[in-house]
Amino acid sequence: MALHPVTQKIAELTGSEVVASRPLHGGCVADVSQMELQDGRKVVVKQGGEANLAIEGVMLAYFGSHSPIPCPAVLHADPTLLIMDFIENDGHVNGQVQRDLANLLAEQHKVTQKQFGLSFNTLIGGLDQPNHPTNSWVEFFRDHRLLYMADQATRYGRLPTTLFSRIETLAAKLADLLPSGDAPSLLHGDLWGGNILCHKGKIAGLVDPAIYYGDREIELAFGTLFGDLTPAFFDRYGQIFPIQPGFFEERRDLYNLYPLLVHVRLFGGSYVGSVDRILTRFGV
């Protein structure tokens, strides 16, 4: 009997045939499944969807070669199919895991380059994420994150034009609200609980990167959006990289406008109200 093209590809890549398959949760961008091989190894397969999975493969390869945090090794990547190693994960995120993540993420944030952005564009949640190299963090965040995603959400009919106008007003004030001077740090870019894998009290890896070089505070902010980074994380991270005054009080909300706008573009709904509340808080 002829093998399915995907299982045949896996057999060619690994030298072992697929004996079992089960779907994995979290596949909003593509269909995701775990496949067990005859020799006992496991792989993760993403296929279909609208996102260019070849870009995800490039992001994983870059992250794997530049970050101290593990990520899945890519076995194959093309626009409609991504095959990668499976990372064992028990899902038990405790204080020990939070402190381990703080240690590793602080080391990752020490990986820097001269400009904000990246030499290639990436994806976040399957959406295009422009990374035009820029000398100014305020300019990069304003043009290639905040205004870009607000425009996309508006064009897609998810964000009311009145809110877009308010975002433009806020964007014009960013130079007075955001600090400058920190070196551009390597960011995972999509740091929420579903992308944090742990095993036996340690970080096992990060998945679904949306990489670029930016101010590390935007990464920390994203980690608080759904409550995934806890005080245990911030206590340890702050010992390595002191967190400047005003982050928790103001800048966290400003930075979280970006992931919220990503969610508005993808899902609409209650995320629009969250954007509205932050804009109101900043008087626009």
Which residues are the active-site residues? 190
Phi-psi group of 117: left, alpha or beta (phi > 0 → left; psi -120 to 50 → alpha; rest → beta): left
Q: Which of 204, 210, 203 is nearest to 186 (CA)?
A: 210
Instruction: Identify whether the C-beta of residue 164 lies closer than 8 Å to the C-beta of residue 89.
Output: no
Secondary element (H or E) of residue 37: strand 31-37
Beta bridge mates, 45 = 33, 83
| C-beta atoms surrounding 172 within 10 Å | 11
Q: Are 70 and 42 in contact, with CB atoms under 8 Å apart?
A: no
β-pair partners for 84: 44, 74
Q: How many helices (H) and strands (E) are present in the chain, helices listed first?
A: 11, 11
- Where b means 16+ CB within 10 Å and e means fewer, 206-219 reads bbbbbbbbbbbbbb
Burial (CB < 10 A; 0-12, 13-18, 19+), residue 57, is buried
